[in-house]
């Protein structure tokens, strides 16, 4: 079992002010093929910096990240909210950008250095990038009890790596001759730790393990905390044009699963190119419409600040508030946006009306009444989670539109994960888990719909494999993941073999973090316009593999196909469960899915 605690993630932020003894690294120093011998005793990361990645636009030749005279723009980083010394919460880990000026050493080229880092948690998080290609290798974690574990760390190339998994993308590339068009990228990568053991130090991978050079900017222990339970969650599905919204307040309606005290919210600026300012926030139990049952409770950030600036690609957690979340209840989370917002990360298919104050109406987060909220929203911008203190942890439902609740009754909370959450709360024989809905309409297992960068109308999200870290492994108190995806892959000509390989890869990564993995069979869709005979053949092949691998690649399977199909026409959904489009179950079909789950199959050690 992994040890987790309630409160701020226990991390050690290593990228602190560089030692004055470290000399500036210009192009010649950075590009040198030799390496300065490094001490055997673990050192703070900043004392090991031997490369300069960031230059000021006025002196683009003062840094040489890749050995060819290229570097990141300090002005681009600042515009993204990634200023020197800024603390960035990325996939639940608090990582600090080096507090060094442009043109001075700010990262280390991994070459087996021993880094002083400590803490207990579920993962070790790195802020990294590769130069000269994808870079990585095998490193070692040393624990206080004298034991060790190895890890594999891979960093995509800073110029050609995928945008779908980047932490931040910047629009320009600096070089000795000036500035040219980017994008360039930095990545947050997490690797598993042994449960419950306290980290003493980390040995970085050796330099000769890959064609590219692995650069490390920061490292920290991530603790997603067994002392927290997720009550509600949603995935960022895309980055869409909005408004513009100027000096307005969002009042977002969400439905709790697990209850508990000490509520906190999670705000995500996923996929964004610029920071967002949240000037004030509050939480309340919903009365009717946008009105609260009682005066909303104000939320603070970073030990008492009323607002927070969330950098591009990062997230922010509020401080735990003196507010008890009742289980199975609508909540109002209000966010005041003081500036002008023209694009936002959104969960598009909310199946829920939320509310928006008038342009220029200011901070209405404290309003108990709903008169200040004349407009409505059908998406959830920025907000991705509500957590409570204590409790047994969470089950995460990773899925597509059927999990997302598309074509269920809006505002009625009849998605199958809602049914599952209510069942957990109504019993006492098993842990009363929270259930976190990370379904995205149009999502796929192995193929990205949204490409991970820029304003887009596509809100099908990045693939399950590319969002697993953010939407499952970094979730509070995650114990079990239920994967119910694949219909969109087989409908869009992904082979059954690729889908099954993708599901196995998801399971392998989740098992590395100690999660129980349950995979559901793909539901029937005959009658939907593109559900051809070829699609049915691929669907049946995926399902045969999923059923066969229960207890092997997967800890258990849920036969959702058997729950929904018409025995007389197995490729079709039962008419009583069909929403009418032959692909998405209606309320009755979603209830059947939620009620068909054996709760014991979701509990580690009980299924």
Please write the tens of the pLDDT for every residue from 46-59: 999 999 999 999 99
pLDDT, tens digit, 9 for 90 and up, residues 242-271: 999 999 999 999 999 999 999 999 999 999
Q: What is the mean pLDDT of residues 555-561?
A: 98
- Closest listed residue to residue 151, CA positions, set 214, 224, 65: 214
Residue 566, Cβ neighbours under 10 Å: how many?
16
CA distance 84 to 106: 10
Give the pLDDT of residue 21.
Answer: 31
Mean pLDDT for the chain? 93
Confidence at 33, pLDDT banded by 50, 70, 90: very low
Map residue 423 onto helix, strand or coil. helix
Q: For every residue of 462-494, which 3-state class applies, written as one string?
A: CCHHHHHHHHHHCCCCEEEEEEECCHHHHHCCC
Flag the least confident range among 46-60, 223-237, 402-416, 516-530: 223-237
Cα distance between residue 310 and residue 265, in whole Å: 13
Give the Cα separation of 210 and 424 in Å (integer): 47
For residue 17, what pLDDT is reported? 32
Inter-residue contact 448 to 454 (CB < 8 Å) = no
Query: What is the pLDDT, as a whole number, of residue 209?
Result: 67
Higher-pLDDT residue of 471 and 9 is 471
The percent of residues in the chain predicted with pLDDT above 90, rounded, is 90
Res 20 pLDDT > 50:
no
| Residues 6+ positions from 22 with CB-CB distance below 8 Å | 46, 47, 49, 104, 105
Helix 587-596, helix 416-426: angle, nearest 10: 40
pLDDT at position 606: 77
Cβ-based neighbour number of residue 484 at 10 Å: 23
What would the two tokens of residue 178 be? 């000036």
The total of other beta-carbon atoms located within 10 Å of residue 384's CB is: 25
Q: How confident is the model at residue 30 (pLDDT cuts 50, 70, 90)?
A: very low
Listed in sequence order, the residues at least 6 apart from 381 whose beta carbon sits closer than 8 Å to its beta carbon are 242, 250, 252, 344, 345, 346
Q: What is the mean pLDDT of residues 577-589?
A: 98
Contacts of residue 38, defined as CB under 8 A and 6 or more positions apart, other chains included, come to 48, 111, 112, 113, 114
Q: State the Cα–Cα distance between residues 601 and 361, nearest whole angstrom.
A: 49
CA dihedral 384, 389, 392, 394 (to 10 degrees): 0
Indicate if the pLDDT at residue 511 is higher than 80: yes
Residue 251: phi, psi to the nearest 5? -120, 100
Band of residue 79 on the pLDDT scale cut at 50, 70, 90 = very high
pLDDT digits (tens, 9 = 90+) for 375-395: 999 999 999 999 999 999 999
User: If you average pLDDT over residues 422-443, what whole number do you get?
Assistant: 98
The set of residues, in sequence order, having a beta carbon less than 8 Å from that of 33 and lying 6+ positions away, is none
């Amino acid at each position: 079992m992994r040890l987790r605690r309630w409160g701020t993630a226990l991390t050690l932020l290593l990228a602190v002010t560089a030692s004055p003894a470290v000399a500036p690294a210009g192009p010649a120093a950075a590009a040198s093929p030799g390496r300065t011998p490094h001490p055997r005793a673990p050192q703070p990361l900043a004392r090991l910096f031997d490369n300069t990645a960031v230059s000021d636009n006025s002196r683009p030749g003062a840094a040489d990240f890749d050995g060819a005279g290229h570097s990141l723009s300090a002005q681009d980083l600042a515009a993204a909210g990634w200023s020197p010394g800024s603390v960035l919460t990325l996939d639940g880990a608090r990582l600090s950008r080096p507090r060094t000026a442009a043109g001075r050493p700010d990262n280390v080229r991994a070459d087996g250095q021993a880094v002083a880092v400590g803490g207990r948690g579920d993962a070790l998080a790195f802020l990294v990038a590769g130069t000269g290609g994808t870079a990585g290798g095998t490193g070692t974690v040393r624990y206080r009890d004298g034991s060790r574990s190895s890890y594999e760390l891979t960093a995509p190339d800073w110029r050609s790596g995928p945008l779908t998994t980047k932490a931040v993308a910047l629009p320009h590339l600096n070089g000795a001759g000036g500035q040219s068009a980017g994008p360039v990228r930095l990545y947050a990568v997490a690797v598993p730790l042994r449960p419950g053991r306290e980290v003493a130090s980390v040995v970085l991978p050796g330099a000769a393990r890959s064609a590219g050079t692995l650069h490390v900017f920061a490292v920290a222990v991530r603790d997603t905390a067994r002392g927290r339970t997720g009550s509600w969650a949603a995935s960022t599905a895309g980055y869409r044009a909005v408004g513009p919204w100027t000096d307005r307040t969002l009042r977002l309606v969400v439905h709790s699963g697990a209850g508990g005290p000490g509520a906190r919210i999670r705000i995500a600026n996923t996929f964004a190119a610029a920071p967002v300012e949240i000037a004030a926030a509050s939480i309340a139990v919903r009365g009717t419409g946008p009105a609260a049952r009682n005066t909303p409770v104000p939320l603070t950030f970073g030990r008492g600040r009323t607002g927070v600036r969330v950098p591009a690609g990062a997230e922010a957690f509020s401080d735990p508030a003196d507010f008890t979340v009742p289980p199975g209840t609508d909540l109002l989370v209000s966010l005041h946006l003081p500036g002008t917002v023209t694009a936002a990360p959104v969960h598009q298919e909310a199946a829920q009306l939320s509310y928006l104050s008038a342009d220029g109406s200011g901070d209405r987060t404290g309003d108990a009444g709903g008169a200040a909220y004349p407009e409505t929203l059908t998406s959830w911008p920025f907000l991705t989670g509500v957590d409570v203190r204590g409790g047994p942890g969470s089950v995460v439902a990773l899925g597509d539109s059927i999990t997302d609740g598309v074509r269920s009754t809006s505002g009625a909370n009849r998605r199958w994960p809602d049914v599952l959450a209510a069942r957990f709360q109504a019993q006492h024989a098993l842990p009363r888990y929270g259930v976190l809905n990370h379904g995205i309409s149009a999502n796929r297992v192995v193929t990205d719909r949204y490409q991970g960068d820029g304003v887009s109308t596509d809100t099908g999200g990045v693939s399950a494999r590319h969002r697993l870290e953010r939407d499952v492994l970094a979730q509070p108190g995650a114990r079990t993941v239920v994967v119910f995806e694949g219909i969109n892959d087989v409908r869009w000509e992904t082979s059954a073999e690729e889908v099954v390989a993708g599901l196995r890869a998801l399971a392998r990564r989740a098992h590395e973090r100690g999660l129980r993995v349950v995979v559901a069979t793909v539901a029937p869709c005959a009658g939907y316009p593109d559900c051809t005979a070829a699609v049915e053949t691929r669907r049946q092949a995926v399902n045969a593999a999923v059923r066969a691998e229960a207890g092997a690649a997967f800890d258990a399977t849920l036969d959702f196909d058997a729950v929904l199909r018409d025995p007389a026409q197995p490729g079709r959904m039962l008419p009583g469960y069909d929403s009418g489009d032959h692909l998405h179950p209606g309320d009755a079909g979603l209830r059947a899915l939620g009620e068909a789950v054996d709760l014991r199959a979701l509990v580690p050690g009980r299924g």
